[in-house]
Structure 1
């Protein structure tokens, strides 16, 4: 399967991607644990059906030390015993922030309060920004039908 459009090769697309990738690097330098950020990226990408991003972030998470057990259970995190309460709060916020059209008002006060219980203001800012950013990447890749499976770690460094 080929993508509909080589967004990265187009001058406008390349410039856009440069800024998105730059924004993602800011999040890596935040106080939010890298493992949490990768879990969030994987879960949003699963919900949005972005094979390219699921491929990318599972590989990046594995390189960062994430276990295959946890990676295999992200889609069913509610039923899994391998995630911390803080990670569960981040995954719930991710799901609600990704499926904003499914509930009037978007993220519930309960989900927000639970996340705020586990993360300080800087971490919450990184978490919310990360959720928004991965959703932007997901939408771009789904629209152009960017296939998953051949991502090579380090490509965007």
Structure 2
């Protein structure tokens, strides 16, 4: 339960804010449909943010199916052979974004662009901003992630 609104999950919180709740849910759901970035890559980045912010609820949530071996080895993505070069570029970008987005280097941005183009880099930045905000709000509100709709993915 949050000190703001009674309710244990994000769905309850966003439902209590009808002016923005539905629009936010639509925005969140739209990331899994982006043609610029594979949904699997976005899910890896979302999960890595959850790990870095120590949000167990967000890490347990499955927005897009992943192989369990890949999910289980996400902490060691830079050492494991399960991750593609494109996923590694996005995960490296995600880690720096989570710590301090001002420290993202041109080389890291270029690595993402090599795999997904400039539009893909912008899409990643937008998705990370929303994912990061959702995870941080969940930690502040002490909510579970179970209320976020998965839209069948």
The two structures have a TM-score, normalised by structure 1, of 0.79
Query: Structure 1 residues 155, 29: CA separation in 2 closer, same or farther (over 3 Å shift)?
Result: closer
Corresponding residue pairs, total = 145
RMSD: 2.3
Q: Does 1:128 align with 2:131?
A: no
Deviates more, 1:74-83 or 1:116-125: 116-125
Q: Are 1:117 and 2:120 counterparts?
A: no
Unpaired runs of 5+ residues, structure 1, are: none
> Gaps (5+ residues) in structure 2?
none
TM-score when normalising by structure 2: 0.81
Report the Cα offset of residue 55 of structure 1.
1.3
Superposed counterparts of 1:1-157, under 5 Å = 2-4=1-3, 5=5, 6=7, 8-10=11-13, 12-13=16-17, 15-31=19-35, 32-56=37-61, 59-62=62-65, 66-100=66-100, 105-147=102-144, 151=146, 155=149, 157=151
1:117 deviation in Å?
Answer: 1.2
- After superposing on structure 2, the runs of 4+ consecutive aligned residues of structure 1 that deviate more than 6 Å are none
Indicate how the Cα distance of structure 1 residues 117 and 75 shifts in structure 2: closer, same or farther if over 3 A, else same: same
Instruction: Name the stretch that deviates more: 9-18 or 90-99.
Output: 9-18
Q: What per-residue deviation string (whole Å, max 9, x for no partner) do you get for residues 97-116 of structure 1?
A: 11117xxx331122111111
